[in-house]
Amino acid sequence: MTRLCVSLIGSTCRRMIEEMQAAAAAGADMVELRLDCLEDWDPAGIDALLEAAGRFPGEVVATCRRAAEGGHCDEEETLRVSRLEYVGLSDAVDYIDFEYESLKASPNIRQKIALVCGPGLNPAGRPKRRLILSRHELNATPPWYTLRFTLDAMGREGAAAVKLACRAESIVDALHMMDALHYSVPARPTIALAMGEPGLITRVLARKLGAFLSFASLEEGRESAPGQVGIDRMRRLYRWDAIGPDTRVYGVIGCPVAHSMSPAIMNAAFAAAGIDAVYLPLLVEPGFEALAAFLTGVLRRPWLHPRGFSVTIPHKQDLLRFVDRRDGVVEPLARRIGAANTLLIEPGEHLDGADAKLHAVNTDYRGALEALCEGLACRPEDLRDTPVAVLGAGGVSRAIVAGLRDWGCRVTIYNRTRDKAEALAAEFGAQARPIEDCVRHDARVVINGTSIGMWPEVDASPMPPEGLAGRPLVFDTVYNPMETRLLRDARERGCRTVDGVAMFVRQAAAQFELWTRRPAPTDIMRAVVVEHLSGRGLPS
């Protein structure tokens, strides 16, 4: 079973003991004593730390990471090794993590490490500690053949486990690290992690791929390596304990993507439905080539069990191009909109994933229409000839206008840039008006497709209050805050309102149902969004 190890980086032994106790309470399987983070080497403090480590319910790793490989120790090597020898004599420590380059550099150091690590007894007559042999590439991820060569070379040293951590310049580097892990695990216990935000996928899926361990921080902002995830988020948000070899992989592709609420919503939905799946934020840099490289890489690794992705800014248009290149199926309305936010992957028979079938869909318009119909208590077909005022002519408005016109609504677009509104109106058979005219509209439904009123500009509104009186429904696609100034003004004038959370949840529910062929637990999904927006949820 893959262990979840919390790195303890306290600057004093007392602080590190407190961190160890917190890690035990948080459910850590292992802790790593980062001795290089200690400001002073106090033998009495170290003895107290080791005594506390003896009471930790899981296993304990001791490390004194050298600065050249991302640690804080810049002292002479003999002194650094002597500290590891000291803690290695304690039965409280199960593993010593030591760098492969340092081991190779000096026969004397190799001999000292062998005295405390490996088979047999140590000088105190007790069983030796087990060795984790590690290498850290701080500048970039080497080519695949170098990763394989390094793991093989470390494996020949007879260590209990080998560890490779490399900085990822892109998410494709993370795929290469998972290749290394996938290749190495059958032969030896292996840790292979990509550092940085693109590497999150390697940390969460380490359990799926059978890694020896994956690292987590005790709390957000206290990471011992770039891209490390807090243990609470690892266990609750990404459902670490439920991940296994057959877990299906989903995620949201975007740039930026770290603060997306989609992982919290989808993972909660998978848990409620009892589905063996995990949903991750996937940082893919802008540009078609970056998206194509990631998706092609994922499809070539069917052992990851990729089944679908949400796609957000800036990749919605590029997704259509990619699916077309792969002879996939594009939803007709998504093609008319010119953007898709959902990819469904139907796996094929080939080991290289070449025959996987792809489907590109746009659930943004579907989410908006379902939220609108719920607010009006009607069916989509009842919307025919309904006059609708759409504020804005950007991507959100484009999807909504396409959906409304598809159901026969009479749409008028109001936008600050008249030419943009006219172009969108001409494309979908709508009308266009200057934004100044919005107060004189005659629509039964008003929909805000702009970002006006979004946090932190919460006092702004895209329409003056006098344009809202007597309108049956006002719908704001902004969901943070849930009650915008526009919705507050509308409610005060007797209008029914639909908030952006409704659309957000509906489009996510449509993705869930497309991927799983099951009804989405929309009540749970909305509760998660509300919890996050109120500041009570996990960071996502």
Residue 94 designated active-site:
no
User: What is the three-state SS of 286-312?
Assistant: CCHHHHHHHHHHHHCCHHHCEEEEEEC
Of 101, 199, 63, 207, the C-alpha closest to 141 is 199
How far is Cα of residue 83 from the mean position of the Cα atoms in its chain? 37
Give CA–CA dist 299/165, Å, rounded: 24
Contacts for 1 with CB less than 8 Å, ≥ 6 apart = none
Of 119, 109, 59, the C-alpha closest to 83 is 109
Residue 112 designated active-site:
no
**Residue from 72, 176, 316, 532 carrying the catalytic annotation:** 316
Residue 316 designated active-site:
yes
Q: Which long-range contacts (CB under 8 A, 24 or more apart) does 512-521 make?
A: 512/266, 512/269, 514/308, 514/342, 514/344, 514/359, 514/361, 514/363, 515/250, 515/307, 515/308, 515/344, 516/273, 516/275, 516/277, 518/273, 518/275, 520/269, 521/268, 521/269, 521/272, 521/273
Give CA–CA dist 265/525, Å, rounded: 5
Q: Which two tokens stand for residue 122?
A: 């140590």
Q: Which two tokens stand for residue 4?
A: 């979840």
Which amino acid makes up residue 528? V
99 in helix, strand or coil?
Answer: strand
Question: Residue 417: enclosing H or E segment and its boundaries?
Answer: none
Give CA–CA dist 289/324, Å, rounded: 14
> What is the Cα Rg of the chain in Å?
27
- Classify the C-alpha dihedral 335-341-346-350 as positive or negative: positive
Of 373, 377, 423, 374, the C-alpha closest to 398 is 423
**Residue from 112, 128, 136, 532 carrying the catalytic annotation:** 136
Which amino acid makes up residue 225? A
Contacts for 52 with CB less than 8 Å, ≥ 6 apart = 17, 20, 21
Residue 163 designated active-site:
yes
**Residue from 97, 364, 489, 499 carrying the catalytic annotation:** 364
Question: Residue 284: enclosing H or E segment and its boundaries?
Answer: none
Question: Residue 410: enclosing H or E segment and its boundaries?
Answer: strand 410-415
Of 508, 335, 306, the C-alpha closest to 427 is 335
**Residue from 72, 112, 128, 163 carrying the catalytic annotation:** 163
Q: Which residues have a catalytic role annotated? A: 136, 163, 316, 364
